[in-house]
Amino acid sequence: MHRYPTSTFCFHFRTLKAFTLLKKAAAFYNASASGGTIGGYRTVAMTQQQGTNEQVLLYSEIDGYPCRRGKVRDIYDLGDRLVIIATDRISAFDWVLPDGIPGKGRLLTALTRFWLEWLQVPHHLLSVDLCALPAAFQRPELEGRMMLVVKTSVIPIECVARGYLAGSGWKEYQQTGMVCGVALPAGLQEADRLPEPIFTPATKEQEGRHDQNISFAEMQRRIGSERAEELRQLTLQIYRRAAAYAEARGLILADTKLEFGCLPDGRLLLIDEVLTPDSSRFWAKETYAPGQSPPSFDKQYVRDWLESSGWDKHSPPPKLPPEVIAGTAARYRQAWQRLTGQPWA
């Protein structure tokens, strides 16, 4: 019998320095902008950027409830349920950055809800209604950021589906001609479409270490053959459906990472964020060309700036320029608009 961690998320900062940096950044914004602590809930507001006064939430504090902080989400334990608050934090290279992206947490929550409703697969979401929460959580600052979910035993494997050769898959292919033990045709270029989608599991590492790609055989060894096959089939099914939906809207879903939890009776639930720009690689069909890394609707804009900034990736990261923050926020909004057909409010 395989046992899994009895929590819905296993997020970790690279080191304690990351959270210390986050707290310092929040304190800075509280002092220099309009943030403050309201009834145990700390809001952090930034100055106006490109016509928006939207507050940027770097972390939350709900008195009387223990909190685990991931790279983006704050998770509160209510016993048999969890409250997940999507902040505006953004991470890169295993560091949580000192700046937030306006509207990011609300958008990721809305997009996850959109996909869960569209997919119609068993999932952990119970409610996004603040009235379903204890009084301490019923604050307007949480509107649109909160998910009340079933607590599950997390499957300790990242379930990744790839339809295109990119990211760590491309790097592995260059070295071995395979991705996670799956042999691929010779002569493929970066961003090439694969003959068919492949399932490439990865470990869920702790203490800020990189998740490690593993073979399906290793996944079977870790969690059992029957469960591994069930997850592979479910992951590829979700990927194929979502990729077809995105393609009809002018987007390529190159790959996605899904997470699953297990109920006491053994049933699987789809958990965590689903098919968002943070967990998936979306490309615009009109600019797609194999042989290069296509622009994506995610934080790649931030990573590119950090790469060019001279940061050594070992010391605390630098503050992001306003234009990088605004450009990143715009990319998230574009992903929402193209996937849903609705303007982001």
Amino acid type, 226: E
Residue 42 lies in a domain: no
Range of the domain at 177: 155-299
pLDDT in tens, 52-85: 567 899 989 999 999 999 889 999 999 999 999 9
The helix or strand, by DSSP H or E, that contains position 29, with its residue range, turns out to be: helix 16-32
pLDDT of residue 46: 35
Q: How far is the CA of 13 from the CAs of 67, 174, 290, in angstroms?
A: 14, 30, 34
Dihedral over Cα of 54, 75, 303, 188: its sign: negative
pLDDT of residue 164: 98
**What does the alpha-carbon distance between residue 32 and residue 25 come to, in Å, rounded to a whole number?**
10
Residue 195 lies in a domain: yes
Report how many domains make up the chain: 1
pLDDT of residue 206: 65
Contacting residues for 27 by C-beta, under 8 A, at least 6 apart: none
Residues of the chain below pLDDT 50? 1, 3-18, 24-51
**What does the alpha-carbon distance between residue 65 and residue 69 come to, in Å, rounded to a whole number?**
13
- Among candidate residues 80, 72, 94, 69, the one with its CA nearest the CA of residue 14: 94
Residue 246 lies in a domain: yes
DSSP conformation class of 144: T
**What does the alpha-carbon distance between residue 124 and residue 144 come to, in Å, rounded to a whole number?**
17
Residue 218 belongs to a domain with what CATH number? 3.30.470.20
Residue 189 lies in a domain: yes
Residue 207 lies in a domain: yes
Residue 287 lies in a domain: yes
56: left (phi over 0), alpha (psi -120 to 50) or beta: beta
The helix or strand, by DSSP H or E, that contains position 239, with its residue range, turns out to be: helix 225-247
Global pTM reads 0.86
pLDDT of residue 32: 36
Residue 259 lies in a domain: yes
Residue 127 lies in a domain: no
Q: Are strands 81-86 and 89-92 parallel, antiparallel or unpaired?
A: unpaired
Task: List the structure tokens of 203.
Answer: 């470990």
